Protein backbone atom coordinates (compact mmCIF):
# COMPACT_ATOMS: atom_id res chain seq x y z
CA UNK A 1 0.00 0.00 0.00
CA UNK A 2 1.39 3.45 -0.78
CA UNK A 3 0.33 7.03 -0.26
CA UNK A 4 -1.03 7.62 -3.76
CA UNK A 5 -3.49 4.70 -3.54
CA UNK A 6 -5.16 6.27 -0.51
CA UNK A 7 -6.35 9.52 -1.97
CA UNK A 8 -8.91 9.99 0.79
CA UNK A 9 -6.41 9.77 3.61
CA UNK A 10 -3.60 12.25 4.01
CA UNK A 11 -0.12 11.66 5.39
CA UNK A 12 1.79 14.53 6.97
CA UNK A 13 5.47 13.51 7.03
CA UNK A 14 7.68 14.95 9.77
CA UNK A 15 11.36 14.03 9.71
CA UNK A 16 14.43 15.27 11.53
CA UNK A 17 17.37 14.33 13.72
CA UNK A 18 17.19 13.06 17.31
CA UNK A 19 15.75 15.51 19.84
CA UNK A 20 14.84 18.07 17.19
CA UNK A 21 11.40 18.33 18.80
CA UNK A 22 9.64 16.48 16.00
CA UNK A 23 7.75 14.08 18.30
CA UNK A 24 6.24 16.89 20.35
CA UNK A 25 5.39 18.85 17.22
CA UNK A 26 3.87 15.77 15.54
CA UNK A 27 1.82 15.01 18.66
CA UNK A 28 0.56 18.57 19.01
CA UNK A 29 -0.22 18.92 15.31
CA UNK A 30 -2.06 15.58 15.18
CA UNK A 31 -4.16 16.53 18.21
CA UNK A 32 -4.98 19.95 16.78
CA UNK A 33 -6.09 18.47 13.46
CA UNK A 34 -7.75 15.35 14.84
CA UNK A 35 -5.30 13.04 13.02
CA UNK A 36 -3.57 9.85 14.12
CA UNK A 37 0.00 10.40 15.27
CA UNK A 38 2.49 7.66 14.36
CA UNK A 39 5.88 7.53 16.08
CA UNK A 40 8.09 5.35 13.84
CA UNK A 41 11.15 5.69 16.09
CA UNK A 42 9.25 3.60 18.67
CA UNK A 43 8.94 0.83 16.06
CA UNK A 44 12.72 0.70 15.46
CA UNK A 45 13.23 0.93 19.22
CA UNK A 46 10.89 -2.06 19.71
CA UNK A 47 13.06 -4.17 17.39
CA UNK A 48 16.19 -3.02 19.27
CA UNK A 49 14.44 -3.83 22.57
CA UNK A 50 13.61 -7.33 21.29
CA UNK A 51 17.29 -7.95 20.42
CA UNK A 52 18.15 -7.10 24.03
CA UNK A 53 15.41 -9.34 25.39
CA UNK A 54 16.49 -12.25 23.18
CA UNK A 55 20.26 -11.71 23.46
CA UNK A 56 20.65 -11.04 19.73
CA UNK A 57 23.75 -9.18 18.54
CA UNK A 58 22.54 -6.03 16.70
CA UNK A 59 25.59 -6.14 14.43
CA UNK A 60 24.74 -9.64 13.25
CA UNK A 61 22.18 -8.87 10.52
CA UNK A 62 21.43 -12.55 9.89
CA UNK A 63 20.62 -13.12 13.56
CA UNK A 64 18.40 -10.01 13.65
CA UNK A 65 16.59 -11.15 10.50
CA UNK A 66 16.08 -14.60 12.01
CA UNK A 67 14.62 -12.95 15.10
CA UNK A 68 12.17 -10.95 12.94
CA UNK A 69 10.72 -14.25 11.74
CA UNK A 70 10.04 -15.41 15.30
CA UNK A 71 8.83 -12.29 17.08
CA UNK A 72 5.40 -10.73 16.62
CA UNK A 73 5.49 -6.93 16.29
CA UNK A 74 1.92 -5.74 16.39
CA UNK A 75 1.06 -2.11 15.63
CA UNK A 76 -2.09 -0.33 16.68
CA UNK A 77 -3.52 2.99 17.84
CA UNK A 78 -4.57 4.02 21.33
CA UNK A 79 -6.10 7.43 22.04
CA UNK A 80 -5.02 8.59 18.59
CA UNK A 81 -1.37 7.62 19.07
CA UNK A 82 0.48 4.63 17.58
CA UNK A 83 1.41 1.72 19.84
CA UNK A 84 3.61 -1.30 19.32
CA UNK A 85 3.47 -4.62 21.15
CA UNK A 86 6.30 -7.16 21.10
CA UNK A 87 4.78 -10.64 21.43
CA UNK A 88 1.81 -8.96 23.07
CA UNK A 89 3.91 -6.97 25.55
CA UNK A 90 4.22 -3.18 25.55
CA UNK A 91 7.80 -2.23 26.51
CA UNK A 92 6.75 1.36 27.41
CA UNK A 93 9.49 3.55 28.84
CA UNK A 94 12.01 0.74 28.34
CA UNK A 95 12.07 1.78 24.69
CA UNK A 96 13.93 4.94 25.70
CA UNK A 97 16.56 3.32 27.91
CA UNK A 98 20.28 3.79 27.20
CA UNK A 99 20.76 0.20 26.07
CA UNK A 100 18.13 0.74 23.38
CA UNK A 101 19.56 4.16 22.40
CA UNK A 102 22.96 2.55 21.98
CA UNK A 103 21.86 -0.08 19.51
CA UNK A 104 18.78 1.26 17.73
CA UNK A 105 20.70 2.90 14.86
CA UNK A 106 22.51 -0.35 14.10
CA UNK A 107 19.28 -2.31 13.98
CA UNK A 108 17.63 0.42 11.87
CA UNK A 109 20.44 0.15 9.30
CA UNK A 110 19.40 -3.42 8.38
CA UNK A 111 17.31 -3.23 5.16
CA UNK A 112 15.07 -6.17 6.17
CA UNK A 113 14.14 -4.40 9.42
CA UNK A 114 13.23 -1.29 7.45
CA UNK A 115 11.21 -3.28 4.90
CA UNK A 116 9.10 -4.89 7.63
CA UNK A 117 8.48 -1.64 9.49
CA UNK A 118 7.86 0.53 6.41
CA UNK A 119 5.09 -1.89 5.36
CA UNK A 120 3.51 -1.53 8.83
CA UNK A 121 3.90 2.27 8.62
CA UNK A 122 2.13 2.42 5.24
CA UNK A 123 -0.67 0.26 6.64
CA UNK A 124 -1.50 2.99 9.15
CA UNK A 125 -2.88 5.11 6.31
CA UNK A 126 -5.75 2.61 5.98
CA UNK A 127 -6.93 3.77 9.41
CA UNK A 128 -7.20 7.46 8.54
CA UNK A 129 -5.23 10.63 7.91
CA UNK A 130 -2.12 10.87 10.00
CA UNK A 131 0.95 12.72 11.11
CA UNK A 132 3.93 10.36 10.97
CA UNK A 133 7.32 11.25 12.39
CA UNK A 134 10.71 9.63 11.78
CA UNK A 135 13.76 9.85 9.55
CA UNK A 136 12.57 8.64 6.14
CA UNK A 137 8.85 9.38 6.10
CA UNK A 138 8.99 12.03 3.37
CA UNK A 139 11.75 10.28 1.41
CA UNK A 140 10.70 6.61 1.56
CA UNK A 141 7.46 5.86 3.41
CA UNK A 142 5.22 8.48 1.76
CA UNK A 143 7.35 10.09 -0.97
CA UNK A 144 4.24 11.32 -2.84
CA UNK A 145 2.72 13.34 -0.04
CA UNK A 146 2.96 17.10 -0.58
CA UNK A 147 2.99 17.58 3.20
CA UNK A 148 6.64 17.11 4.10
CA UNK A 149 8.34 18.91 6.96
CA UNK A 150 11.91 18.52 8.19
CA UNK A 151 12.47 19.81 11.72
CA UNK A 152 16.02 20.68 12.60
CA UNK A 153 17.77 22.20 15.64
CA UNK A 154 21.38 22.86 16.52
CA UNK A 155 23.26 20.04 18.23
CA UNK A 156 23.67 22.18 21.35
CA UNK A 157 19.93 22.74 21.63
CA UNK A 158 19.16 19.08 20.99
CA UNK A 159 21.56 17.93 23.70
CA UNK A 160 20.05 20.45 26.13
CA UNK A 161 16.53 19.17 25.34
CA UNK A 162 17.54 15.58 26.04
CA UNK A 163 19.24 16.40 29.32
CA UNK A 164 16.20 18.46 30.38
CA UNK A 165 14.28 15.18 29.96
CA UNK A 166 16.86 13.56 32.26
CA UNK A 167 18.31 11.51 29.41
CA UNK A 168 21.95 11.25 28.35
CA UNK A 169 21.27 10.33 24.74
CA UNK A 170 24.31 10.54 22.47
CA UNK A 171 22.30 12.34 19.81
CA UNK A 172 25.27 13.31 17.65
CA UNK A 173 26.51 9.73 17.46
CA UNK A 174 23.05 8.42 16.59
CA UNK A 175 22.53 11.15 13.98
CA UNK A 176 25.87 10.34 12.35
CA UNK A 177 24.92 6.66 12.15
CA UNK A 178 21.40 7.47 10.90
CA UNK A 179 22.70 9.89 8.25
CA UNK A 180 25.53 7.70 6.97
CA UNK A 181 23.75 4.38 6.62
CA UNK A 182 23.06 3.03 3.12
CA UNK A 183 19.43 2.05 3.71
CA UNK A 184 17.13 5.10 3.80
CA UNK A 185 19.49 7.52 5.55
CA UNK A 186 18.24 10.62 7.32
CA UNK A 187 17.94 13.24 4.56
CA UNK A 188 15.85 16.30 3.83
CA UNK A 189 13.29 14.72 1.47
CA UNK A 190 12.69 16.25 -1.95
CA UNK A 191 10.15 19.01 -1.54
CA UNK A 192 10.32 19.11 2.27
CA UNK A 193 10.13 22.44 4.08
CA UNK A 194 12.91 22.80 6.66
CA UNK A 195 11.97 24.42 9.97
CA UNK A 196 14.91 25.22 12.27
CA UNK A 197 13.40 25.00 15.74
CA UNK A 198 16.55 26.05 17.67
CA UNK A 199 15.13 29.44 18.61
CA UNK A 200 11.43 28.55 18.52
CA UNK A 201 8.98 27.22 21.07
CA UNK A 202 6.61 24.37 20.30
CA UNK A 203 3.65 26.62 19.44
CA UNK A 204 5.76 28.54 16.95
CA UNK A 205 6.94 25.35 15.26
CA UNK A 206 3.40 23.94 15.15
CA UNK A 207 2.13 27.21 13.63
CA UNK A 208 4.90 27.10 11.01
CA UNK A 209 3.93 23.49 10.21
CA UNK A 210 0.25 24.51 9.90
CA UNK A 211 1.30 27.22 7.47
CA UNK A 212 3.08 24.60 5.32
CA UNK A 213 -0.09 22.49 5.24
CA UNK A 214 -2.17 25.52 4.27
CA UNK A 215 0.25 26.61 1.52
CA UNK A 216 0.40 23.11 0.13
CA UNK A 217 -3.36 22.82 -0.19
CA UNK A 218 -4.44 20.75 2.79
CA UNK A 219 -8.23 20.33 2.60
CA UNK A 220 -10.31 22.86 4.51
CA UNK A 221 -12.07 19.96 6.27
CA UNK A 222 -8.73 19.10 7.87
CA UNK A 223 -7.64 22.63 8.73
CA UNK A 224 -11.12 23.52 9.98
CA UNK A 225 -10.94 20.72 12.54
CA UNK A 226 -8.36 22.76 14.46
CA UNK A 227 -9.13 22.66 18.17
O1 LIG B 1 12.93 9.17 16.71
P2 LIG B 1 13.75 8.27 17.65
O3 LIG B 1 14.94 8.96 18.23
O4 LIG B 1 12.90 7.61 18.68
O5 LIG B 1 14.31 7.10 16.70
C6 LIG B 1 15.11 6.07 17.20
C7 LIG B 1 16.01 5.52 16.10
O8 LIG B 1 15.24 4.82 15.13
C9 LIG B 1 16.81 6.57 15.33
O10 LIG B 1 18.09 6.75 15.90
C11 LIG B 1 16.91 6.00 13.95
C12 LIG B 1 15.76 5.03 13.83
N13 LIG B 1 14.68 5.50 12.95
C14 LIG B 1 14.82 5.27 11.62
O15 LIG B 1 15.85 4.77 11.18
N16 LIG B 1 13.80 5.60 10.78
C17 LIG B 1 12.68 6.16 11.24
N18 LIG B 1 11.69 6.46 10.38
C19 LIG B 1 12.54 6.45 12.61
C20 LIG B 1 13.58 6.12 13.46
Report the alpha-carbon distance of residue 88 to residue 91 in Å, rounded: 10
Confidence label for 6 from pLDDT (cuts 50, 70 and 90): very low
E strand map for the chain: 11-15, 36-39, 73-78, 81-86, 130-134, 148-152, 193-196
Q: Coil, strand or helix: which one is 157?
A: helix
Q: Any idea what the Cα angle at residue 102 is, between residues 100 and 106, rounded to 5°?
A: 95
Question: Domain range for residue 140?
Answer: 11-216
Cβ(191) – ligand 1 distance below 6 Å? no
Q: Report the nearest-CA residue for atom 4 of ligand 1.
A: 41
Tell me, yes or no, whether 145 lies in a domain. yes
* Angle subtended at Cα 24 by Cα 78 and Cα 148, rounded to the nearest 5 degrees: 95
Q: Among residues of the chain, what percentage have pLDDT more than 90?
A: 76
**Beta carbon of 44 within 6 Å of any ligand 1 atom:** yes
Distance separating the N- and C-terminal Cα atoms of the chain: 30
Number of structural domains, the chain? 1
Model confidence pLDDT, tens digit, residues 35-80: 999 999 999 999 999 999 999 999 999 999 999 999 999 999 999 9
What confidence tier does 203 reach under pLDDT thresholds 50, 70, 90? very high
Highest-scoring range by mean pLDDT, 20-24, 106-110, 177-181? 106-110
> What pLDDT, in 10s, does the model give residues 8-36?
899 999 999 988 999 999 999 999 999 99
For residue 135, pLDDT beyond 70? yes
Residue 137, pLDDT above cutoff 50: yes
Q: Whose CA is nearest to atom 9 of ligand 1?
A: 105
Question: Which CATH number is 20's domain given?
Answer: 3.40.50.300
- Establish if 4 belongs to a structural domain: no
Domain for residue 227, yes or no?
no
Residue nearest to atom 6 of ligand 1 (CA): 41
Residue 103 confidence (pLDDT) above 80: yes
pTM, full prediction: 0.93
Closest CA to 175 of 1, 24, 18: 18
Task: Work out which ligand 1 atom sits closest to the CA atom of 40.
Answer: 19
- Whether the CB of 40 sits within 6 Å of ligand 1: yes
Mean pLDDT, the chain, as a whole number?
92
pLDDT value, residue 165: 75
Residue 3 within a domain = no
If one counts every other C-beta atom within 10 angstroms of the C-beta of residue 88, the result is: 7
Smallest CA separation from ligand 1 atom 11, residue: 105
Q: Give whichever of 14-23, 76-85, 157-166 has the largest mean pLDDT.
A: 76-85
Confidence of residue 144 (pLDDT cuts 50, 70, 90): very high
In a domain, 1, yes or no: no
Q: What confidence tier does 158 reach under pLDDT thresholds 50, 70, 90?
A: confident
Assess if residue 223 is contained within a domain.
no
Pairing of strands 81-86, 73-78: antiparallel
Amino acid sequence: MSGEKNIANIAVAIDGPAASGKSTVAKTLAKKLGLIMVNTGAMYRAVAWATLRDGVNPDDADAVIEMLGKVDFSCGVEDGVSTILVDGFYPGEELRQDAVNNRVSRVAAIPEVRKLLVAKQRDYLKLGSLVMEGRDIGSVVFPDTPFKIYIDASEEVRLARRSAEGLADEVAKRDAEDSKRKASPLVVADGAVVIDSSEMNIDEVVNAAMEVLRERGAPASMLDAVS
